[in-house]
């Protein structure tokens, strides 16, 4: 699959911006985490001041409440620190995404979007993320890690008869867990605000941006879930949540059209998609492996992965998934549900092909049934048509017959009448003729008789 020059430019600029954002977050984290470190030292000091020689519930609770008081201020400072860091990053992200989308101002049709850090901070503090407010997340990361650990350590200490010093030492070591959670929380907040800025900039340009493309970081340490979505197209308003998980490095690249952006041919500089290969396997939550190789690649994650060594592919996919892909049972795009961004389990994938073909069969069967239904409908229509034709023909025939009958009657009437007239005429003529003949005969007879009588008379006269 090829990527347009415009998309590559947007992708490269987005990756570049993410690195800048990471750098900024790293610096902010130093400040935020130093607060946690300070709290750790104070906690250790509090614990060492306590001259408890034997553990009791009362003393334990007293110690816990002391730790809690100490932490309240620390938690407030950390919440403030994360809110500051993410609101400043977010405000910069609005500018960055506006600049990226406008191709540094060259795309004249692009509208920018901006947000002040103050406004953002008030939103960040008041808006729940994943069901919790920022302050509640901070509270949880302390409570779950530390409070529980302290209780457990004290209980274990009681059972094992550990020395007080050993327990304190273990408690101090328990802090890195909290630190890790605070770091994840900070990165998640910065990433969420950045993603929101990106989506707001796209929304401001909804007339020219309708669709976006999911782009995962092209690295062997990218998680499978994100890599599986690489290259998939979504509607601007309908895609899996981004970031998809803590430390997700994915971006949504708008699918743009040069003309609608108001770009001219020469505006887009040559850009390519960077990749990096680091030591080790995928680390779900990031982590830093030594860089082995970096470069550029023009295709999707799928095609890039195939260019890696068999071992690197195996490290990334795991042996079963690699096997399923290589055997042709599944394709790379089957690994993740592209609608939700959920990773498919090995169980689901193992009979995926069968299920897919079963589904395909069902579709086929459905189509066949539909076709049969259509055909029977057609047959029915045909027979109905034929019967209608028959009926029509019958009616027509009957009509014709009736007409003929009527005609015949009329004709017969006429004929009969004419015949009768003719017969009558002939009869009349004959009668006249006969009468004439008769009268002529009669006349002849009488003439004859007259002649005869005249002759007789003359003869008689002669005789006289």
List residues binding Zn ion (CB under 5 A). 226, 244, 248, 250
Q: What's the rounded Cα separation, in Å, for the pair 200 and 196?
A: 6
* Minimum distance, C-beta of residue 231 to Zn ion, in the bound complex (Å): 13
Report how far apart, in Å, the C-alpha atoms of 74 and of each of 21, 178, 322 are. 25, 12, 47
Q: What's the rounded Cα separation, in Å, for the pair 350 and 355?
A: 10
* Minimum distance, C-beta of residue 14 to Zn ion, in the bound complex (Å): 13
Q: What's the rounded Cα separation, in Å, for the pair 321 and 228?
A: 12
Q: What's the rounded Cα separation, in Å, for the pair 198 and 101?
A: 9
Q: What's the rounded Cα separation, in Å, for the pair 73 and 94?
A: 32
Whichever of 285 and 438 has its CB closer to Zn ion, that residue is: 285
Among all chains, which residue has been given the structure tokens 């887009």? 268
* Minimum distance, C-beta of residue 214 to Zn ion, in the bound complex (Å): 8
Whichever of 209 and 244 has its CB closer to Zn ion, that residue is: 244
* Minimum distance, C-beta of residue 188 to Zn ion, in the bound complex (Å): 12
Whichever of 157 and 240 has its CB closer to Zn ion, that residue is: 240
Which of 174, 159, 135, 153 lies closest to 63, judged by CA? 153
Among all chains, which residue has been given the structure tokens 């990053």? 89
Whichever of 33 and 226 has its CB closer to Zn ion, that residue is: 226
Whichever of 179 and 245 has its CB closer to Zn ion, that residue is: 245
C-alpha 272: how far from its chain's center? 28
Q: What's the rounded Cα separation, in Å, for the pair 308 and 289?
A: 17
Residues 6+ apart with CB under 8 A from 381: none
Whichever of 154 and 248 has its CB closer to Zn ion, that residue is: 248
Whichever of 244 and 349 has its CB closer to Zn ion, that residue is: 244
* Minimum distance, C-beta of residue 275 to Zn ion, in the bound complex (Å): 15
Q: What's the rounded Cα separation, in Å, for the pair 86 and 118?
A: 11
């Amino acid at each position: 699959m090829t990527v347009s020059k415009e998309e590559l430019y947007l992708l490269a600029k987005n990756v570049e911006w993410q690195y800048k954002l990471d750098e900024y977050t790293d610096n902010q984290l130093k400040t935020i985490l130093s607060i946690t470190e300070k709290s750790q030292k104070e906690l250790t000091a509090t614990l060492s001041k306590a001259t408890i020689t034997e553990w009791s519930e009362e003393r334990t609770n007293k110690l816990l409440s002391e730790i809690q008081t100490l932490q309240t201020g620390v938690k407030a400072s950390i919440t403030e620190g994360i809110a500051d860091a993410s609101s400043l990053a977010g405000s910069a992200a609005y500018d960055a995404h506006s600049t990226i989308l406008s191709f540094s101002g060259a795309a004249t049709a692009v509208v920018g979007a901006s947000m002040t850090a103050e406004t953002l901070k008030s939103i960040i503090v008041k808006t729940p993320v994943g069901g919790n407010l920022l302050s509640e997340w901070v509270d949880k990361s302390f409570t779950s890690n530390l409070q529980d650990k302290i209780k457990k350590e004290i209980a274990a200490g009681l059972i094992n008869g550990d020395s007080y010093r050993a327990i304190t030492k273990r408690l101090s070591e328990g802090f890195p867990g909290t630190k890790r959670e605070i770091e994840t929380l900070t990165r998640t907040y910065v990433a969420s605000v950045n993603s929101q800025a990106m989506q707001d900039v796209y929304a401001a340009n909804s007339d020219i941006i309708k669709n976006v493309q999911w782009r995962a970081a092209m690295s062997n340490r990218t998680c499978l879930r994100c890599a599986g979505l690489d290259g998939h197209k979504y509607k601007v308003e309908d895609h899996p949540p981004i970031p998809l998980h803590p430390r997700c490095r994915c971006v949504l690249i708008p699918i743009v059209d040069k003309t609608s952006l108001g770009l001219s041919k020469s505006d887009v500089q040559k850009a390519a998609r960077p990749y990096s290969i680091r030591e080790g396997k995928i680390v779900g939550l990031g982590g830093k492996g030594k860089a082995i190789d970096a470069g550029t690649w023009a295709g999707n994650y799928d095609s890039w992965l195939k260019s890696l060594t068999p071992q690197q592919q195996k490290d990334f996919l795991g042996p079963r998934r690699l096997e399923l892909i290589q055997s042709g049972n599944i394709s790379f795009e089957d690994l993740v549900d592209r609608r939700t961004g959920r990773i498919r389990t090995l169980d689901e994938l193992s009979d995926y092909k069968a299920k897919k073909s079963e589904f395909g069969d069902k579709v086929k069967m459905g189509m066949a049934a539909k076709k049969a239904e259509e055909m029977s409908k057609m047959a029915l229509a045909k027979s109905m048509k034929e019967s209608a034709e028959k009926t029509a023909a019958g009616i027509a025939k009957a009509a014709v017959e009736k007409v003929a009958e009527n005609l015949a009657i009329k004709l017969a009437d006429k004929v009969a009448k004419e015949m009768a007239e003719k017969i009558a005429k002939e009869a009349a003529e004959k009668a006249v003729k006969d009468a004439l003949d008769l009268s002529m005969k009669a006349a002849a007879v009488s003439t004859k008789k007259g002649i005869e009588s005249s002759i007789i008379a003359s003869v008689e006269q002669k005789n006289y």
